[in-house]
Structures are given as C-alpha cells and as structure tokens.
C-alpha cells in the first residue's frame, strides 16, 4: 500500500483570488476541428459557457476581456516533460516552478512529467519523491508517467498500486540506455502484458541500445568524442528497427503503445506502417518541436557549445527533409 496523497488539481494563485469569474468576448475560438466566433465565460477555472452573447446573462463582479481581432485557443497539454530530472550526473535546469511558469506563459496549461526510478529503486518511493518536488512548486495542473527501468515481481506489484490507487496509467519503457534503463524483449513482453491487464498505456523510447553501445565503443576508439559522435552512434535505422520491434511486441501483447519522440523519417514510416497493419489499434506516436523546426545541419561546425546544445536522443537528423516529412505524418 502507498501512503502517497492522491494527485490533486492544482489551482494557480491567480485563480484563487477574487478574479475567479472571467468573461471573454468577441474572440475567434479555435478548436481542433474548426474555428468560430463566440464568447466564453469561465468560473472557478471551469469553462461554463461557449456561445453567442445573446444566450448568456453574465453575473456581477466579472473580469471582462475584449478579444476582438484575437484568437481564443484552448490551453495546451504537454505530455512529455522532464523537470529537474537527474540524469547522467546533471540535473535539468528547469525545476517544477520555472518550467511550469514558462509553460503557462506559452499557453500550456498542463504537463505530464516522468518519474524515472533508479534501477532497483521502488517505483512508489520514486513517485513520492517526484510529488515532493512538484507539489509545492507547480503553477499549473500536472500528471505523472512512471518509468519501468527494471523488471521484477515487486515492480509488477507496484504497477498495480500506481494504477489502481495513485491514478497513474501510463508507463515508460526503454529500449536504449544499456546497463541503465534498457529492458530486453522478454521483459518488454512481460511489462506490456502487465500494463494491458491494468488497462494502462505503455510508452517506449525506441532505439536499439545494444547497437548504440557497440557504436559508442567504436567511435571512442576512433577518437570521436565531441557532440558530432552522438548522431553517428545512433543513425536512423537504429531508431527505425526499435520502433518496428516495439510495435510488434506490443501487438503480440495486445497492449496500447505510445512511441515517444519519433525523430526520423524511417522511424516515422515504421510507425505509420504499424498503424496501417493493425488498423489504427494500439499504436500512437509523438514527435518533438525540435524535430519539426530544425535538423542536424543547423549545428554542424559551429563550436562545441552550440553543437552540444542540440544533442538529444534520438538525435536530430542530417536529412533536411525530415521536419516536413514528420509534419505530414502528424497531419495524418
């Protein structure tokens, strides 16, 4: 059993004040399917009305915003963040205060962060640690995925507690990071079957960690130690192979799969093929703003600091047509 508090809806300070009634008029509402002229009335952080002004009577004490000539866009949900994450001997510079403050400023009103337990660490204890970091600091609603960084009977039992008692139903697995987070195919099958039994969603970082480890050893032996070696250690086919394998394993376990940060054309093709093969069941994917807005050629031969700032896994790709290709996949 866990003594953790259940996740709560975080009410920002500005919504706790007297300004808890907001009326937005004359704006153009932009939803996922269409845009249209309408007014919006919000009370206690909840949208109570969307429609023409003639159909609503606004109570007193309301803050009115005239959105003439402006678009009213629903708050975004960022499903993949890493606030104050300890990794590789460093800690992410954004903590839960600064990261969520920036999110709200940019129109993102909820994040879903990742609890990443160390190998052999209790998932519940790691979850409690992330809650202790986040609860006093967050400026917006937030949720948590939990990483499965090792596999055992105790981990399987804790998955049930997280899902049934603590409201976590998405769990991240890794095919990369050999000797740290990487699970083998047998463990992945067991994990996917357990998640399916809990009606959860499996997430996967899809890169072949064994190939990456071999390539890293070879590149270091050749004296390649700078940021340029990162993409060389994990070319497109290393990502594409893992995406294909992850989709097959998840399908065999009948487990919903969410492939995180698809970064290459070939990996995107494998994901699209799997969605077609399984008729859209089980398989979903995401990409990153960085993959849509730039490519690896932007940071070549510009010095260590600039190149190192563009290192991520899977990496940006040198194929300049990648951003447009991934955008088309998103549109589909």
> Are the C-beta atoms of residues 203 and 173 closer than 8 Å to each other?
yes
CATH top class, domain 18-72: mainly beta
The domain 76-331 is classified under which CATH number: 2.40.50.70, 3.90.1570.10, 3.20.20.140, 3.30.420.270? Answer: 3.20.20.140
- pLDDT tens digits, 114-164: 999 999 999 999 999 999 999 999 999 999 999 999 999 999 999 999 999
> Are the C-beta atoms of residues 262 and 243 closer than 8 Å to each other?
yes
Model pTM greater than 0.85?
yes
| pLDDT given at position 332 | 84
Q: Per-residue pLDDT averaged across 68-97, rounded?
A: 94
Domain ranges for the chain: 18-72, 76-331
Asked if the domains at 18-72 and 76-331 fall in one CATH topology, the answer is no
Query: CA-to-CA distance for 7 and 32, rounded, in angstroms?
Result: 28
Could you tell me what percentage of the chain is helix, strand and coil, using 3-state DSSP and rounding each to the nearest 5? 40, 20, 40
| pLDDT given at position 160 | 98
Q: How far is CA 13 from CA 17, 18, 19, in A?
A: 7, 10, 10
Percent of the chain clearing pLDDT 70 (strictly above): 94
| pLDDT given at position 198 | 98
Q: What is the overall mean pLDDT for the chain? A: 92
Handedness of CA 184, 186, 188, 190 (dihedral sign): negative
Report the relative pairing of strands 90-91 and 71-72 from DSSP bridges: unpaired
Confidence of residue 20 (pLDDT cuts 50, 70, 90): confident
């Amino acid at each position: 059993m866990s003594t953790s508090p259940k996740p709560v809806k975080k009410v920002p300070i500005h919504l706790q004040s007297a300004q808890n009634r907001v009326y937005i008029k004359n704006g153009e509402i932009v939803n996922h399917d269409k845009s249209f002229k309408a007014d919006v009335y919000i009370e206690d952080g909840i949208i109570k009305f969307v429609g023409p002004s003639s159909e609503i009577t606004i109570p007193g004490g309301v803050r009115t915003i005239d959105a003439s000539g402006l678009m009213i866009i629903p708050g975004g949900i960022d499903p993949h963040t890493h606030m104050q994450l300890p990794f590789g001997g460093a800690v992410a510079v954004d903590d839960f205060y600064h990261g969520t403050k920036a999110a709200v400023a940019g129109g993102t009103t909820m994040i879903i962060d990742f609890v990443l337990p160390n190998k052999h660490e209790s998932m519940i204890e790691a979850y409690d640690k992330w809650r202790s970091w986040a609860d006093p600091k967050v400026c917006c609603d937030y949720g948590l995925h939990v990483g499965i960084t090792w596999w055992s009977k105790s981990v399987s039992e804790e998955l049930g507690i997280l899902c049934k008692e603590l409201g976590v139903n998405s769990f991240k697995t890794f095919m990369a990071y050999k000797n740290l987070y990487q699970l083998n195919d047998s463990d992945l099958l067991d994990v996917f079957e357990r998640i399916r039994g809990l009606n959860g969603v499996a997430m996967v970082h899809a890169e072949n960690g064994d190939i990456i480890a071999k390539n890293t050893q070879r590149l270091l032996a050749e004296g390649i130690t700078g940021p340029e070696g990162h993409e060389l250690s994990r070319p497109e086919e290393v990502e594409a192979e893992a995406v294909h394998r992850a989709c097959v394993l998840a399908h065999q376990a009948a487990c919903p799969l969410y492939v995180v940060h698809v970064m290459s054309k070939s990996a995107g093709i494998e994901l699209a093929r799997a969605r077609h093969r399984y008729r859209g069941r089980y398989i979903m994917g995401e990409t990153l703003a960085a993959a849509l807005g730039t490519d690896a050629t932007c940071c070549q031969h510009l010095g260590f600091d600039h190149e190192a700032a563009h290192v991520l896994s899977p990496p940006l790709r040198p194929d300049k047509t990648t951003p447009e290709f991934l955008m088309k996949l998103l549109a589909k």
